[in-house]
């Protein structure tokens, strides 16, 4: 049985575009919509569970494991929880949100009592205790996120590594030579949250490959003030910033830079890579590669419902390619001599 990822690949579009074409929630080009619908029909893709004759003796409940931590980004937490719920309803399932710190107990109980027909695991850490448990459960489980060890798992996520590499490449190709990354708060990194660490590694590796001076900073509050100060201390010629952080920190960046006489994009180009928020309403909108909750949760739920229906439960990793949204926050720099600090 085809999944939304199969339709996207065959139609040559993103998973989110397939979702928009089928749902009609966003305006897309008519020829693109027609191509997606034709491919979906050809592959026999049916997004609604009601069209699949669900087997009897089901709870019609999906458990959603998303524990709340002291450093939890509430906006991102709710975005993924709500999107999972919306997609589940499209498949005629209700959701049970498991937010207790003891995530293992909730998963065990849901599976052992047949309270849930399947489990979606959100807010995944690299060394996530839910990974070994998922391997022991008969209940189908899909991770939205990549733990360090994915053996035997079904995982769906944005390709954060590709997003970080593309952000660096776009800045370097536009002539930028001193690039900083404003990441998440240290407690999030130390907890082991998977995607900020993946962005950190890919950013560092790409900067080194391109021979670019770079620095990484972590906010110690809800603004970018401390991060900008530390970046300028390490990179006096800072001319590019990649954001993989929270909305409060990102939204403050332009004003913080302005207090130091720097303007986006005149002096500093900015790209928000792998973020769950839009920058369109910021005082200065930033070019963005969004973490699309709809695309991730739709792909994950397709795979989960397919497994519940007795279909293919083969372990796999589905990485959603990043989409670049241009708001004009990156401009070309004049050619300059190679940076002597490299």
In a domain, 71, yes or no: yes
With contact defined as beta carbons under 8 Å apart, do 263 and 46 qualify? no
**144 and 237 together in one domain:** no
CATH of residue 28: 1.10.260.40
Residue 236 forms part of a structural domain: yes
For residue 162, pLDDT over 70 is answered with yes
- Most confidently modeled range among 13-17, 85-89, 112-116, 214-218: 214-218
DSSP 50: G
In-domain check, residue 327: no
User: For the chain, how many structural domains are there in total?
Assistant: 3
Instruction: Tell me how long the chain is.
Output: 342
Residue 172 lies in a domain: yes
Q: Is residue 281 part of a domain?
A: yes
The answer as to whether 69 is a domain residue is yes
User: 174 with 238, same domain?
Assistant: yes
Classify 12 in phi/psi space as left (phi over 0), alpha (psi -120 to 50) or beta: left
Is there a single domain that holds both residue 62 and residue 111?
yes
Q: Is the pLDDT of residue 51 over 60?
A: no
Residue 233's domain is classified under what CATH number?
A: 3.40.50.2300
For the segment 238-285, what is each residue's pLDDT rounded down to a tens digit?
999 999 999 999 999 999 999 999 999 999 999 999 999 999 999 999
**HSE, side-chain direction, 13 A CA sphere, residue 169:** 8
Identify the domain containing residue 193 by its residue range.
160-286
Provide the pLDDT for residue 52. 39
The reply to whether 150 and 165 lie within a common domain is no
Whether 153 and 297 map to the same domain: the answer is: yes
Residues 149 and 212 in one domain: no
Q: What is the mean pLDDT of the chain?
A: 89
Same domain, 170 and 230: yes
pLDDT at residue 322 greater than cutoff 90: yes
Q: Does residue 164 form part of some domain? A: yes
CA distance 43 to 140: 24
pLDDT of residue 47: 60
Q: Max alpha carbon distance in the chain (Å)?
A: 70
Looking at residue 300, what is its pLDDT? 96
Q: Do residues 274 and 208 share a domain?
A: yes
């Amino acid at each position: 049985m085809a999944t939304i990822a199969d339709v996207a690949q065959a139609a040559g579009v993103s998973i989110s575009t397939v979702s928009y074409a089928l749902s009609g929630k966003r305006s897309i080009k008519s020829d693109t919509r027609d191509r997606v619908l034709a491919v979906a029909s050809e592959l026999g893709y049916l997004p609604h569970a009601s069209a699949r004759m669900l087997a009897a003796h089901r709870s019609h409940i999906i458990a959603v494991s998303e524990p709340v931590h002291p450093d939890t980004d509430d906006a991102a937490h709710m975005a993924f929880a709500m999107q999972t719920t919306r997609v589940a309803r499209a498949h005629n399932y209700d959701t049970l949100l498991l937010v207790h710190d003891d995530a293992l107990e909730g998963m065990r109980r849901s599976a052992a009592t047949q309270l849930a027909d399947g489990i979606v695991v959100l807010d995944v850490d690299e060394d996530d205790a839910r990974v070994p448990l998922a391997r022991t459960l008969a209940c189908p489980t899909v991770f939205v996120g990549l733990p360090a060890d994915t053996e035997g798992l079904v995982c769906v996520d944005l390709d954060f590594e590709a997003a970080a590499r593309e952000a660096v490449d776009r800045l370097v190709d536009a002539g930028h030579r001193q690039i900083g990354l404003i990441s998440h708060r240290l407690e999030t990194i130390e907890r082991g949250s998977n995607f900020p660490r993946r962005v950190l590694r890919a950013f560092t590796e790409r900067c080194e490959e391109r021979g670019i001076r770079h620095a990484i900073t972590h906010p110690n509050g809800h603004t970018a003030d401390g991060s900008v100060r530390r970046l300028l201390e390490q990179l006096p010629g800072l001319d590019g910033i990649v954001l993989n952080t929270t909305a409060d920190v990102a939204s403050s960046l332009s004003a913080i830079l302005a207090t130091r006489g720097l303007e986006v994009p005149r002096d500093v180009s900015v790209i928000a890579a792998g973020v769950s928020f839009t920058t369109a309403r910021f005082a200065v909108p930033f070019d963005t590669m969004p973490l699309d909750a709809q695309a991730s949760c739709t792909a994950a739920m397709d795979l989960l419902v397919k497994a519940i229906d007795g279909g293919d439960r083969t372990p796999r990793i589905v990485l959603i390619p990043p989409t670049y949204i241009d708001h004009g926050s990156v401009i070309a720099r004049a050619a300059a001599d190679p940076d002597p600090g490299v």
